[in-house]
Chain A
């Protein structure tokens, strides 16, 4: 089994991007850090200078969540979604949509927190509405292209016989 000490990004299918990373904590703690607002807003922040003034989570199937980030200039970025499946401490499925919709429609985010050694392996799959939606994220000009862009380059490198 490979060890994902730092974030690993790959593209297992056309519409999907897979993030993997290992943590030194039990699955329940990882689950909590993704579902308890007081914990989420302490790490899910993005670039330096951004805070998370809004972090509302209604942790039940069909319940919604809402995140808003703000930087020092007052620029805001928001996203929200609903919980599709909640199976603590190992599994969480949500739908997500940014206010600016730079992902070309809703994404389905499937997170797993599996025991790995004395810690936890997080496996987070982000499924886009269509392949075009995933590719469309490349055309815009914000935080956006990142995931798809990185995944695309990964795919290119993986396909290259020289790699």
Chain B
């Protein structure tokens, strides 16, 4: 997959409340499919389908060691998605910093805006 396809897969995987809940559960520690299905009003096969999408996006990995094949959250794709989003948030923020400067210019009587962290 290209980096762009990876991001598509990550965001597609995140665009579902059940899958986000699965990730939130896995953020607390490994779990089997049965354990993951427990809090949801849906079947284990349905959970498995969601897991496949999360696995394809690289957000979840499954151990082959044990028969219960526990699922584990993988941080790298989330970090990549976060970095990508952060870049665009920075872009908006850079617009608003320009606006700060313009607002200072428009009010010479006022103290300039202190630099933001």
Contact = CB atoms under 8 A, between A and B. Distances in A.
Contacts of A46: 91, 95
Interface in A64-88: none
Given A23-B99, A33-B102, A146 B85 contact: yes
Contact of B11 (A33, A44, A145): A145
Interface stretch (A1-9, A55-63, A91-99, A103-111): A1-9
B96 to A, nearest CB: 6
A121 B103 CA distance: 14
Contacts of A135: 15
A24 B100 contact: yes
Contacts of B113: 23-24
Contacts, number: 106
Nearest to A146: B88
A47 B8 contact: no
A42 B102 contact: yes
Contacts of B78: 153
B41 to A, nearest CB: 17
A98 B82 CA distance: 24
B24 A138 contact: no
Contacts of B101: 43
Interface string A33-58: 10000010011111100000000000
Interface string A122-158: 0000000000000100110101011111101101100
B4 interface: yes
Main secondary structure of the interface of B (DSSP, over half): helix
A146 B89 contact: yes
Contacts of B15: 135, 138, 152
A135 B13 CA distance: 11
A52 to B, nearest CB: 11
B12 A150 contact: no
Contacts of A44: 95
A160 B110 contact: no
Interface of B: 4, 7-8, 11-12, 14-15, 20-21, 23-24, 27-28, 78, 81-82, 84-86, 88-89, 91-93, 95-96, 98-104, 106-107, 110, 113, 116-117
9 contacts: A24-B104, A24-B113, A135-B15, A138-B8, A139-B12, A143-B88, A143-B91, A150-B85, A156-B14
Task: List 6 tightest A-B contacts by C-beta distance, closest first.
Answer: A146-B88, A43-B98, A25-B103, A138-B11, A150-B85, A43-B99
Interface of A: 5-7, 9, 19, 21, 23-25, 29-30, 33, 39, 42-47, 135, 138-139, 141, 143, 145-150, 152-153, 155-156, 159-162
